[in-house]
Amino acid sequence: MKEPEGGVCAPRGFRAGGIRCGIKAGGDKRDLALICSDTPCVSAAVFTANRVQAANILVSREHGKAGKIRAVIANSGNANACTGQTGIAAARRMASMAAECLGISAGETAVASTGVIGVPLPIERIEAAVDRLAASLDRGAAGHDAALEAIMTTDTRKKAAAAELALPGSAAGPVRIGAMVKGSGMIHPNMATMIGVITTDAAIGAAELDRALRRAVNRSFNRLTVDGDTSTNDMVLAMANGAAGNPLIAPGGAAYEAFAGALEALCVKLARAMARDGEGAARLITVTVRGAASEEDAAVLARSVAGSSLVKAACFGADANWGRVLCALGYAGVPFEPERTSVRFAGASGNVEVCRDGCSVPFSEEDAKQILLEEEVEIRAVVGGGPGEASAWGCDLSYDYVKINGDYRS
């Protein structure tokens, strides 16, 4: 599998752009993005599990029911959440304006917003800028980069990737998948405070795309946690335009498995990047659980450890406090065998066993500290003899997280 340049513009037939329209106060950062396909698409999307949902989520859910989304307009600096019917009208207007510029129907357009909750969206600024936004569309990396910058909030790193793969049984040449995500804080399993846009030129049915997307999200973004808060605005949208000319991907076949596997690998890569860019984070933490009764149980256990504030704080302080790991496993809500559980801390410099059969073992505090000071740390837990294995991703909890969120609105 190759990694082409261009992110969401790497697949054939997609354009992207981004501009500043003045939603974000001060500065000169872009805050309005548009991503679209030249031709009709099939689409699939996954949305937040929060019962409080932003206006853009309600509108995008409605438009996405037909599985034919081919464009998304997105803004940063304002979540358009908890804004009532006025907010819903603004989200509908965003979709209509973008559709008018592209010559498509509003029902083929999704809307994404991110930023402060409870503040009316200044739709007039978007309306005044939408023609300029459409003019910014570009087929190359420049368009992708502009769109990605326009959806970032507290992100400190751009998070995007693309993949090129040959499908078994296809003589049409390789297909490409491109993706961009934003998200740094208010991130917890069952999506995150994220906007994710995935494009592909593969020919695939809407049902198969939906199935592949849900599998990928469950094994990537839904195993990601930064701070335990599930946002009102989470959305991952996938659009497929079939421009690669491959035979339609059949459900369950070798081509489907190749496509779904590549999509999952791409999402895992981006989930890890989001964890590494967690607000105020100094290190990426991977929690891997083996020996559970099932993959689902292992995922729940791993997420519990990755989401523990005490584990995260210990990692920030490079303190090998393994008891916090067992504690987090214990309240995860799924059965495991504490008396058979072992824990290791691992990094590029090696690994140290700190717990065996649920009890302490002699280990070098200095060696453990050196591992926990690395930029990427893995916590490995074996919880029994079952076949279940899964990883979850998070980050440490630093003083800077409080500084960033203590005055986020003001």
Spacing of C-alpha 57 from chain mean position = 16
Spatial separation of the C-alpha atoms in residues 4 and 10, rounded to whole Å: 7
- The set of residues, in sequence order, having a beta carbon less than 8 Å from that of 115 and lying 6+ positions away, is 23, 24, 75, 76, 77, 78, 79, 153
Q: How many CB atoms neighbour CB 348 within 10 A? A: 10
**Residues 337, 382: Cα–Cα separation, whole Å:** 9
CA 194/CA 216 separation, integer angstroms:
15
Token digits for 60?
């995008």
Could you give the angle at which helices 254-276 and 206-218 cross, rounded to 10 degrees?
Answer: 40
Q: Is the separation of the CB atoms in 145 and 93 below 8 Å?
A: no
Catalytic residue among 48, 114, 193, 230: 193
Identify whether 193 is a catalytic site residue: yes
Pair of tokens at residue 39: 């031709």
Cβ contact 239:220 at 8 Å:
no
Residues 6+ apart with CB under 8 A from 26: none
- 201, 164 Cβ separation under 8 angstroms: no
Q: How many CB atoms lie within 10 A of CB 45?
A: 26
Alpha carbon separation from 132 to 6, 75, 94, 378, 391 (Å, rounded): 22, 14, 14, 46, 43
What residues contact 140, with CB distance under 8 A and at least 6 apart? 6, 9
Catalytic residue positions, numbered:
193
